[in-house]
Structure 1
Amino acid sequence: MDHKQLKYFLALAETLHFGRASEQCHISAPTLSRQIKQLEKELNIALFIRDNRSVSLTAQGKAFVEYARSSLAQWRQFKSECQDNGQPLSGELSFYCSVTATYSFVYDLFAKFRQQYPAIELNLNTGDPALSITHVLNDKEDLAVAVKPAQLPQGTSYLPIGQSQLVIVAPIMACPLTELLSSQQSNNIQWSQLPFIMPEQGILKDRLDQFCKTQAFTPRVYAHVSGHEAMVALASLGFGVACVPEIVLAQSPFKDQVRYLSSLDLIEPIEIGLVCKTKRLTDPVVTVLWETAENLFRL
């Protein structure tokens, strides 16, 4: 097997969709299918269960995910360590963050990094920030922007890069929720009467759960949503109120379609930082990005 096949396998294992995986790998779906079949033939096991409508991992396929991620991470580190010191540092780096973080933190970091290390290939993946640390721990990504948890997992390193207040927002448009809020006093909001757009998981959910406990009410949940940006969109449409980082709201195209409720000082702010496995800092490519961030984000 070669490292490209491992990359193809991981793309399909993540998406469980030949079309999306082939687009992600910049190859055709038939080419991806052939590469997976070759890999299965070499291993003499079935990695996926396929039918006309779905793709799923076999038990052996699930076990092979960890091997593939670990092998690719070790290969990247080995290549970095074997480079000639007289040549520009090169290699590959995978990075995970939310869409908002690409505007707020990552753009400036990547701009400075690309200027100093143009031969290093940066692979940026975006998604729910609640998954950032999990992706790093599972070797899915080298580094990630994450909200700092109450306790960092053992074996991880953390570099603070910013903070954000958490705010509760409500729609401006005419709708039943707006009418309900207009009948209440701004300094005495009846939270138990309001529908909430809730985050599915992560520190934001923990903060909101603590807010509900402090205010002594059980929230009426309209929907659980993955991703802070989507929560702002649903709140702007009047489906419910949403608790989101102020930094997300500042970048949202819907920021002018929502308003703050009077709870800005009732929820503990979040701290945002860069996370990676501590052992990955022995990789020169990971180290130089970490050092670039240290110099850029001096809090």
Structure 2
Amino acid sequence: MELRQITYFIAVAEELHFGRAAERCHIAQPPLSQQIKRLEEELGVTLLERTSRRVVLTPEGKEFLKRCKDVRDRLNEAVICIQDMAKGLEGQLRVGFIGPASLSKLPRAIRAFRERNPRIRLDFSAQSTSEQLPLLRGDRLDIAFVRLFGHDTSGLNSLLFLREPYVLAIPEDHRFADRETLDIADLEGEPLIFNQRIAQPALYRSLIGSFHKAGFMPNIVQEVNTEQSTVALVATGLGCALVPASSASSYRSGVAFRPLTGDLPQWEITALWKKKNQSVILQKFLDVAREFREVQ
């Protein structure tokens, strides 16, 4: 069975006249009649009752007409859908991000993208950098917002989305609360909460190196795996913590934030995507991301 036979049958069934159907399909009447006959022979069913005066659909023909219209409509929808996908008007984008990215302007960028592209579905995955990279390379993510420090990014394009300094999160009744700014040297002997070494080993070493340059070893009393957990423990009075400046924009009862000077690495979030990914939808998302990037 060929698609053109279905097209011819719909025309005859709607016109109930082979001559008009032939004109509608831009073919001669004899070839049209022949195609309908072949269709009926293939199905083993009579679809049309023909007399010298009229053409009538059989009950089987009426049902087949309904099904053929469904096929035609779904095919038309499929054509429109893939054309819209090629234009970046419809489709799907899978976005991965680390938890702290939710404190940046990424949520605002996502909202702006959705408002401009309401027919594009966004799927989100909140995971660590180490978890996102294989998903990106395995085509299970289209773009990943990660924190890079010594990671292998071969085969990937990148866009620095956020760069900001560290600040010090302190319990609100801490002795540092009256200070406007602090220096890393002020933290000698101070109980500190650090992100886990296993999560970002290269960054962990860099931060430890910053304390070494200041002339002392940090007094780490607890290691945690998320920025949110870090700030929550600061609120309990367990210690102070180095956190990205954007954390200060998220109010947390019992916690204050102070600018911190010293030889410290910058806190960065980078967008990554595969070099071979030429998706129009991805490019449109990157255009929006560039509008909201923050690089201090």
**Shorter chain as normaliser: what TM range?**
0.5 to 0.7
Alpha-carbon contact 1:143-1:274 (below 8 Å) kept:
yes
Deviation at 1:107, TM superposition (A): 2.1
User: In the alignment, which residue of structure 1 is the partner of 2:90?
Assistant: 90
Write the distance in 2 (CA, Å) between the matches of 1:120 and 1:188: 46
Q: Cα distance, 1:197 vs. partner? A: 1.0
Matched AA of 2:231 = V
Structure 2 counterpart of 1:248: 247
The equivalent residue for 1:171 is: 171
Match of 2:106 in 1: 106
Corresponding residue number in structure 1 for 2:224 = 225
Number of aligned pairs? 209
Q: Does 1:294 align with 2:287?
A: no
- After TM superposition, give the deviation of residue 96 of structure 1 in Å: 1.9
The 5-angstrom pairing of residues 2-151 of structure 1 reads 83-85=82-84, 89-128=89-128, 131-133=131-133, 135-137=135-137, 139-149=139-149
Shift of residue 148, structure 1, vs aligned partner = 4.2
Gaps of 5+ in 2: 1-77
Indicate conservation of the 8 Å contact 2:103/2:246, yes or no. Answer: no
Task: Report if aligned partners of 1:168, 1:264 keep a CA contact under 8 Å in 2.
Answer: no
* Structure 1 residue 140 displacement after superposition: 4.4
Q: Which has the larger radius of gyration?
A: 2
Distance 2:287 2:176 in 1: 51
Take 2:184 and 2:209, find their aligned partners in 1: how far apart are those partners?
19
Deviation at 1:226, TM superposition (A): 0.9
How many Å separate the matches in 2 of 1:127 and 1:209? Answer: 25
Cα distance, 1:119 vs. partner? 1.4
Q: Distance in 2 between matches of 1:206 and 1:162?
A: 21
Measure the CA separation in 2 of the matches of 1:188 and 1:88. 48
Please report the RMSD computed on the Cα atoms of aligned residues, expressed in angstroms.
Answer: 3.4
C-alpha deviation, 1:166, in angstroms:
0.6
1:242 CA drift (Å): 0.8
- Identity percentage of aligned residues: 18
Report how far residue 272 of structure 1 moved.
2.6
Which residue of the partner structure matches residue 41 of structure 2?
Answer: none
- Whichever residue aligns with residue 147 of structure 2, its letter is V
Structure 1 Cα separation of the partners of residues 176 and 293 of structure 2: 43
Task: Note the alpha carbon deviations across 1:65-116, whole angstroms, 9 max, x for none.
Answer: xxxxxxxxxxxxxx9xx82158762222221224442342222211221122
CA positional deviation for 1:150: 5.3
Q: Paired residue for 2:153?
A: 153
Q: TM-score, normalising length from structure 1?
A: 0.58
Say whether residues 1:267 and 2:264 are aligned partners: yes
SS in 1 for 2:92: strand
Corresponding residue number in structure 1 for 2:256: 258
CA displacement at 1:266 relative to structure 2: 3.4
Residue 128 of structure 1, CA deviation: 4.4
Farther off after superposition, 124-133 or 194-203 = 124-133
Partner of residue 276, structure 1: 273
Give the Å deviation of 1:125. 2.4
Question: Is 1:211 the equivalent of 2:210?
Answer: yes
Say which is worse superposed, 202-211 or 164-173, in terms of deviation: 202-211
What is the TM-score normalised by the length of structure 2? 0.58
- Which whole-Å deviations, capped at 9, do the CAs of 1:127-158 have from their partners, x for residues lacking one? 44675545534544321222343566111111
CA distance in 1, matches of 2:119, 2:185: 55
CA contact (8 A) 2:190 2:219 kept: yes
Moved over 6 A (4+): 179-182
